[in-house]
A and B are shown apart, each in its own frame.
Chain A
Amino acid sequence: MEKEAILILEDGTRYKGRSFGYEKSVSGELVFYTAMTGYPESLSDPSYKGQILVPTFPLIGNYGVPGDETVNGISKFYESDRIQCSALVIAQYSAEYSHWDSAKSLGEWLKKWEVPGIYGIDTRALTKRLREKGAMLGKIVFGDEDIPFYDPNKDNLVAQVSCPEIKHYGNGKYKVLMVDCGMKNNILRCLLDYNVQIKRVPWNYDFSGEDYDGLFISNGPGDPAMCTETIANIRKALQQDKPIMGICLGNQLLALAAGAKTYKLKYGHRGHNQTVRIPGTHKCFVTSQNHGFAIDDSTLPADWERMFENLNDGTNEGIKHKSKPFFSTQFHPEASSGPTDTGNLFGMFVENMIEHSKK
């Protein structure tokens, strides 16, 4: 039988589980997500850096994980080139998997990247605890190998997951400058469906002198306030009129650059079923989300406005500039994993570049 491991929460709660991944003690911030599919995408999503992931869906591993093929220099299936989260905590693990494009089991994949995974946990009870007490630090302990709690939000996680050097993709007409704060690959895939070329730069790269048609600020992990250099760079871009689009952390960074404030949500939004609405209309979209911080709307400067709002709790889901082609979303229009209903926002960004280039 598999090795036993204990999940210990900051508040002292303990859950006994069994290991199906790499066997080492690890600590991080515990977060739950409610998506029922997409564990290969989520585990490789850099936004989960430093976090211990708790899917609320109990059966995980059913369809294995896909292979490592790449298309145009981008992984065909994954959102980055490795597992990003610190550990995975689930209810029930399927060691036997079944899918035509699977290459190995989830357990094997976790072992490859030395990431622990434990099963046999009452993830619903754990989720309710996180919901009531807020996101919490936690650790998975094997045997006597106890370790201290670790709060990833105190580190600059973006610096850890951003690309170390500049990369180019595509050869279309419009030049996108992509600030990689922990970018998901599907943002590249979505943009490359259009007539664009992408220059992907590290999170703190000063692009103010660059020649580009549109600026893209990617998603990423942690507290946006850590990215002071990125915010400063964006602030310069705001002086110009070139189109800007941001996603998730990118949304928060754009807001901070514009002068608004962000705050940490009690337990964040993570899942595939969050609905956003265009303010003042009945127009709604089901979105994929993964964030622990949000923009405080009341601090938005006068020339900015809400673009989307969360239907359930009213929090900000996106902002736009009242006159310039700047917008960003808190949710993930690139999906992967999750619903694809807002994928046309990439088209809107490209349209903005086309419009702008005509000027």
Chain B
Amino acid sequence: MEDVKRVLVLGSGALKIGQSGEFDYSGSQALKALREDGKFTILINPNVATVQTSEGVADAIYYLPITPAFVEKVIQKEKPDGIMLAFGGQTALNCGVELYKSGILEKYGIKVLGTPVQAIINTEDRELFADMMHSINVKTPRSEAVNNMDEALKVVKEIGYPVIVRAAYTLGGLGSGFCSNDEELKKVAASAFSYSPQILVEESLKGWKEIEYEVVRDRYDNCITVCNMENFDPLGIHTGESVVVAPSQTLSDHEYHKLRRIAIDIIRHVGIVGECNVQYALDPNSDDYRVIEVNARLSRSSALASKATGYPLAFVAAKLGLGYGLDEIPNSVTKVTSACFEPALDYVVCKIPRWDLGKFEGVSRLIGSSMKSVGEIMSIGRTFEEAIQKGMRMIGQGLHGFVCNNVHVPDIEAELVNPTDRRLPAIELAFTQGYTVDKLHELTRIDKWFLCRLANIHNIKEQLAGAGSLEKVSEDLLREAKCMGFSDYQIGKICIAADKMNPHEKQAAVRKYRKGLGILPVVKQIDTLAGEYPAFTNYLYITYNGTENDVQFEQDGNSVIVLGSGAYRIGSSVEFDWCGVAAVKKIQEMGYRAVMINYNPETVSTDYDTCDRLFFDELTLERVLDICDMEAPKGVIVSTGGQIPNNLALLLDHEGINILGTSAKSIDMAEDRQKFSEMCDSLGIDQPRWKELTSMDDIWSFVDEVGLPVLIRPSYVLSGAAMRVVSDRAELETALNNAAVVSQEHPVVVTEFLQRAKEVEIDAVAQNGVIKCYAISEHIEFAGVHSGDATVVFPAQKLYYETIRQIKKISKKIAGALNISGPFNIQFLAKENSIKVIECNLRASRSFPFVSKITKFNFIGMATEIMLGREVEPFGKTFADIDYVGVKCSQFSFARLLKADPILGVDMASTGEVACIGDNYHEALLKSMISVGTRVPSKEKGILLSSGPTKSKIDLLDAARILDDYGYKIYATSGTARFLEENGVKVQEVLHWPDSDEKPNVIDYMRGGKIDLAINIPKNNTARELQNGYQIRRTAVDFNIPLITNARQASAFIYAFCKIGVDGLAIKRIDEYV
């Protein structure tokens, strides 16, 4: 056993594309394993919304950036003797490798627990890795760098066609292409050489299957593979962008075990102690293979594998890091068997990515070798058809399953060959148009087995449609349809004539008819051993492919169901997982049975250890009703899982389900814009003026009334026509007319937009309409930046007392009028003490974990007590008592989203957040901004100021002066430079616009590494300025230069790093503040 007492665990920081909530789950499991062994645990993770940073998960928690400098300071203070690097994604791994390379770990005598760092380095370096694989006769893709055409032709002779040619050192695949003969090679290579003096010629594995194995090894050299997974999409589509199926479905035993054997050879050779992931390409026409990648750490796939099998990989990996053998760890599901085994599944799971590409301007919807998805779901069934249809409903993009969707795909064939986020619906459209499985296989290279299963779903839809009416559908066919994953909604839509009822009535009619025939789902357990050993597991899913329930329900009214938050997406992420888990904990503490429904494999709430019963299943009306039928619960909590459960409240209430806390009617009152406005009017509460309008004429006359700018919110969104602020008539016309998005059926909501108004939020909990606790926070940016993207300060530092008083008054009125019992959040605009309400949600908001952790008072805990009917005392502390400050910053993933304009607006674009605490506002802000990757610039390099409209120029003037005073080099674009110099600020050099031929050019300076911070404030004016601004912003993202696009945030950051500096930041545990 490793002789360590204090173990440092590095978290993964803010959620971003490619590194999401899965690491909250991994880290939480690791901490649990460590504490079970009596270790003192130290966690560094600035992600305030995570479960792992909650009280009681680790012994010492630091909300600090995960960078070597900060980690070293924590090491100096906490004196750990062990460190774990494998549980915080690439962020933790990279930081750990740097700590190792710089000798810091050795200096402080810290032992790396688990896989040695050198082994990690060996897998991270492409060449070292390839050499290592070849030394044990494992094949990797062949790739050669060449410097001229002759060399290219020669290399192809060895590798053989087809090949892929890539230009070295270019971004975004410039100059790359696929070649199947000399002629094509000459063409593509010539183009590639025009971008770069060196090109890479690689063997093409296009159309090969992509397979993954999760492998575990202990110090005794025992190896197991916990799970294998098969990508539905062939190689070429990043595994994070693929539908993934576990276990593999199209591999023979020979192939399965050949790849398994190689995975074990690799893990032994690399010397992993813990867990790793091996990715393969497998030839669909032979058993030839290539190893694509090895991840020597817990990964997204390992989190998925854990959820898919019930095998707690992260927990086991942490124990192995402590020196246990696999045979010494019990199987946590069965308790009687050992963790040294390979799970047997008796179901199939599908992972489907969730994209939010519509949220970004300029980004391509094509999916390919880089990851763009922001979340994922996992669906479980006993047929593939059942799992995939469930899964398509789960991703929450309005799909009803594989069939019955209203998805517009302009060119199906193009979509099939070059897939986008609409690939699955496009396949269904193709079936409708008579495409055969063979043809689809040819176009998509998706294995025919999967396509046949999808064809099967399509065929059943045709059979259902052929029946003519619901009553004419035979019992057998109806049962078959349910076994193939059809929802009652789908069946209603197919079988009941459109004019007869609305979709909800149809769904209800199918449900009634089906139940009358005795066609009911059953509950099955996930037990890791396919039923071989008795398991008292509470990890459940629902299927129609069965005749017997695995569990008996008490139906004693002591179950409380918590609806989870579904797939992570922009606007709903790990914060709601924290809320759900907090609710579950409180429910249990109060002596009730906590039942969770959720299907997001990246969460802690779907860890079967978290609750008394976990239904890893859909959050649809149909499924929640099924579960309510089984549980006969005391009630359902809909207010801790974000918008999905919130939207179900009214529907569940109609079906007689007890909604705990605030009534469904009140929820509806707050959600329905019209009703809410009427209520505000009657309470004398001011709102920005708005109207729902159906013609351009009406819009013009409303604009004449309120003036520009206005906020427009189309209800029918074509790409690029989402919610936005428009500042002149031409822009308004372009936005609405060109897209033809205004009509009787698709009204547009137009709202007056207040410029330079502060945005303030209240997070609160009320009981029977009386507020019991609240937190008021303010945004650093003026209104116009989505609250999910804004930098939030709590307690609010710069509000007038009068503003605070009014906000409290208004909140009290609303809480009373809606008779709120539970969590809620209201957003306000404040301008010169005139307060307007912009939004009210009768549920927990994104900032609940933030304010709960900063106040060390669990808002959700109190809300849960209230929802369960316990009388609570008001939270006594007033926020004037808090003598420290929390600042929450947003994390953006623009680097992953090629071509996207990294600009902030009224629609949310951030993928994650962090929060840090400081003794003052600037200290907290600086820690927080560094945590999302905004490096403090070096004085050797310069700071680019391109400060947009006059008002931003004025806003930035003081900050520019401070930069000048502190000896920073300022580079500026012409207008900004003129303004600064007129005001006595020294500008090092004036840089020309990107589209200018004159030197020095701003883009050259950015590419040349002369700029260490770019401040570009967008100016919505001429097309030329927009284009130039875009190029500056995009170049900053592509060249990893910190970018700030908001003047107020930029000023605050500059002030903080100049006046306080990194060395002035206190290294304190949360409990040293709170």
Contact = CB atoms under 8 A, between A and B. Distances in A.
Interface in B212-239: 218, 220-224
A122 B530 contact: no
Nearest to B381: A58
Contact of B344 (A57, A283, A335): A57
B257 A282 contact: no
B435 to A, nearest CB: 16
Interface residues of B, number: 61
A96 B452 contact: yes
A333 interface: no
Interface in B323-347: 325-328, 336-338, 340-347
A340 B257 contact: yes
B285 A58 contact: no
B547 A56 contact: no
Nearest to A35: B344
B547 A98 contact: no
A123 interface: yes
A59 B132 CA distance: 37
Contacts of A99: 250, 252
Given A271-B344, A312-B338, A341 B264 contact: yes
A97 B449 contact: yes
A99 B382 CA distance: 22
A15 B547 contact: yes
Interface stretch (A81-89, A125-133, A200-208): A125-133
A32 B344 CA distance: 12
B815 interface: no
Nearest to A16: B547
Contact of B346 (A15, A57, A94): A57
B341 A273 contact: yes
B327 A311 contact: yes
B999 interface: no
A321 interface: no
Contacts of A15: 547
Contacts of A275: 224, 327, 338, 340-341
A32 B529 CA distance: 12
Interface in A35-76: 35-38, 40-41, 56-59, 62-63, 66
A284 B339 CA distance: 11
B545 interface: yes
B704 interface: no
Contacts of B256: 36-38
A91 B382 contact: yes
A275 to B, nearest CB: 5
A233 interface: no
Contacts of A123: 346
A156 B1047 CA distance: 88
A273 B383 contact: no
Contacts, number: 174
A25 interface: no
Contact of A96 (B261, B326, B448, B476): B448
Nearest to A95: B452
B383 A128 contact: no
A125 B531 CA distance: 9
Contact of A131 (B284, B343, B532): B532
Contacts of A218: none
Contact of A271 (B220, B252, B532): B532
Contacts of B346: 34, 56-58, 123-124, 127
A98 B251 CA distance: 9
B494 to A, nearest CB: 20
Given A272-B342, A273-B343, A335-B257, A58 B382 contact: yes
Given A96-B449, A284-B326, A338-B257, A58 B347 contact: yes
Interface in B304-363: 325-328, 336-338, 340-348
A21 interface: no
B288 to A, nearest CB: 11
Interface string B203-219: 00000000000000010
A265 to B, nearest CB: 12
A131 B328 CA distance: 26
Given A56-B346, A273-B344, A38 B253 contact: yes
Given A37-B252, A56-B346, A122 B545 contact: yes
Given A94-B452, A282-B327, A284-B327, A127 B532 contact: yes
Given A36-B247, A284-B340, A312-B337, A98 B452 contact: yes
Nearest to A343: B261
A166 B76 CA distance: 76
B341 A311 contact: yes
A272 B225 CA distance: 11
Which size bracket describes the interface of A in this complex?
35 or more
A40 B255 CA distance: 13
B222 to A, nearest CB: 5
B1009 interface: no
A124 B531 contact: yes
Interface in B432-453: 437, 447-449, 452-453
A324 interface: no
Contact of B524 (A41, A94, A124, A282): A124
A122 B328 contact: no
B534 interface: yes
Contacts of A91: 382-383, 545
A335 B449 CA distance: 26
Nearest to B261: A340
A34 B220 contact: no
A100 B383 contact: no
B874 interface: no
B384 interface: yes
A92 B545 contact: yes
Contacts of B337: 311-312
B546 interface: yes
Contacts of A252: none
A35 B347 CA distance: 12
A251 interface: no
Nearest to B219: A282
Interface string B282-310: 00111000000000000000000000000
B284 A100 contact: yes
Interface string B244-281: 00011111111011001100100000000000000000
A91 B348 CA distance: 12
Contacts of B534: 131
A128 B343 CA distance: 17
B532 A63 contact: no
Contact of B253 (A96, A336, A341): A336
A266 to B, nearest CB: 11
B550 interface: yes
Interface in B516-572: 522, 524, 529-534, 545-548, 550
A271 B284 CA distance: 26
B174 to A, nearest CB: 36
Interface string B672-713: 000000000000000000000000000000000000000000
A230 interface: no
Contacts of A96: 437, 448-449, 452
Given A283-B222, A336-B254, 16 more contacts: A1-B476, A36-B247, A37-B251, A40-B252, A56-B530, A57-B346, A58-B347, A96-B437, A98-B452, A122-B548, A127-B531, A275-B224, A283-B220, A286-B340, A340-B257, A340-B260
Nearest first, the 4 A-B pairs at minimum CB distance are A38-B253, A56-B530, A125-B548, A96-B452
17 contacts: A1-B476, A37-B247, A56-B346, A56-B532, A58-B383, A59-B249, A63-B250, A98-B250, A98-B447, A124-B382, A124-B531, A127-B531, A282-B328, A284-B326, A286-B340, A286-B342, A339-B257
Interface of B: 218, 220-224, 247-254, 256-257, 260-261, 264, 284-286, 325-328, 336-338, 340-348, 382-384, 437, 447-449, 452-453, 476, 522, 524, 529-534, 545-548, 550
Interface of A: 1, 15, 32, 34-38, 40-41, 56-59, 62-63, 66, 91-92, 94, 96-101, 122-125, 127-128, 131, 271-275, 277, 281-284, 286, 311-312, 335-341
